[in-house]
Amino acid sequence: MAQPQMELFVRALSRLLGWIYMLSWSASFYPQIIINYRRKSTSGLSIDTPTINTLGFACYTIYTGVFLYAPMIRAQYAARHPSSEEPTVRFNDLAFAVHAVVLCFIMYTQFWPSIWGLHVSRFQRISKTMLGLFWGSVFAPLVVICIVLVRSPDGGYDPSTWAWIDVIYAISYIKLVITVLKYVPQAWLNYKRKSTYGWSIVPMFLDLNGGVLSLVQLVLDSSLQSDWSGITGNPVKLLLGNVTIFFDLIFIFQHYILYPDAPDTKKRSHDGDTRPLLADSEGQRDV
């Protein structure tokens, strides 16, 4: 296959993989929302996850949107990565991020009985750790903005020093931190309950598929530019895919190996409290 034809093929494959992983990741939000609604309960789901996830994907929306449509940021990226044609952020990344913000927020609102009328245990409250992470993530970009304004000789336009692109990178790193930590509360909750009852495993397979294809697309895009620094130049996408794969495998191990049948489900509460329970038609109920 001639070089131009090969390049066209790789570009088309990259776009196809991008939309497939976007659809996989996007679809992964629906099963849990549907399960909660059908069971009329949020039992089995950690409230920390959708809470911090909403902020994380809001950061990812800002990051992808700016890298796609802000000329100044794109110019600063080109200055720092001269061998790259453009950032390896694609429109499908932005489409996924916007959709994810909406779905995560909907999932978060399911913990408000006044909105959905679902049963929410009194123990399902946002942890102090996640509250600290939330507010720390809100204020961190403000600190970086102050640094840019103070340290940059031209107000953040010179990419060789502190620049506005560093603010966007800071926002992207917030997404990375949230991605690493957002899975922990759910994994811990499954461990405490010795059960995955009330929590859907289907999103993990969709998540895993999306993570693998996201990394493949990143590699293809960097190969097209003959610049492998394009991989590290898009740290959010790189680590997002790797962290997603790592935790998805943990959840699959919990669901199928550690707690395949969850024989003690009815002896445990919705959120890990080990008080005795009476089984109702949905499987659990507080005494």
279 part of a folded domain: no
What average pLDDT does the segment 4-31 reach? Answer: 84
110 part of a folded domain: yes
Instruction: Provide the domain limits for residue 113.
Output: 3-267
Confidence at residue 262, expressed as pLDDT on a 0 to 100 scale: 56
pLDDT band at 265 (very low <50, low <70, confident <90, very high): very low
284 part of a folded domain: no
274 part of a folded domain: no
Confidence at residue 274, expressed as pLDDT on a 0 to 100 scale: 39
Confidence at residue 174, expressed as pLDDT on a 0 to 100 scale: 92
Q: What's the pLDDT tens digit per position in 97-126?
A: 999 999 999 999 999 999 999 999 888 889
Confidence at residue 23, expressed as pLDDT on a 0 to 100 scale: 87
- The conformation of residue 271, written as its DSSP 8-state character, comes to T
Lowest mean pLDDT among 50-54, 66-70, 237-241: 237-241
225 part of a folded domain: yes
Confidence at residue 231, expressed as pLDDT on a 0 to 100 scale: 65
Confidence at residue 232, expressed as pLDDT on a 0 to 100 scale: 63
User: Against a cut of 0.85, is the pTM above it?
Assistant: no
What average pLDDT does the segment 192-217 reach? Answer: 89
Confidence at residue 250, expressed as pLDDT on a 0 to 100 scale: 95
**Following DSSP, what letter does each residue of the chain receive, concatenated?**
--HHHHHHHHHHHHHHHHHHHHHHHHHTTHHHHHHHHHHTB-TTS-THHHHHHHHHHHHHHHHHHHHHH-HHHHHHHHHH-TT-SS-S--HHHHHHHHHHHHHHHHHHHTT-HHHH--B--TT----HHHHHHHHHHHHHHHHHHHHHHHH-TTSS--TTSS-HHHHHHHHHHHHHHHHHHHHHHHHHHHHHHT--TTS-SHHHHHHHHHHHHHHHHHHHHHHHTT-THHHHTSHHHHHHHHHHHHHHHHHHHIIIIISSS-TTGGGS-TTS--S-B---TTS--B-
Q: Which position has the higher pLDDT, 25 or 276?
A: 25
243 part of a folded domain: yes
**Whole-number average pLDDT of the chain:** 83
287 part of a folded domain: no
pLDDT of 152 strictly over 50: yes
pLDDT of 196 strictly over 70: yes
What average pLDDT does the segment 78-83 reach? Answer: 83
pLDDT of 278 strictly over 50: no
% of the chain at pLDDT higher than 70: 85
Lowest mean pLDDT among 57-61, 91-95, 217-221: 217-221
What average pLDDT does the segment 215-224 reach? Answer: 79
pLDDT band at 266 (very low <50, low <70, confident <90, very high): very low
194 part of a folded domain: yes
pLDDT band at 230 (very low <50, low <70, confident <90, very high): low
Domain count for the chain: 1
What average pLDDT does the segment 259-268 reach? Answer: 57
% of the chain at pLDDT higher than 90: 49
pLDDT band at 80 (very low <50, low <70, confident <90, very high): confident
What average pLDDT does the segment 18-29 reach? Answer: 86
pLDDT of 50 strictly over 60: yes
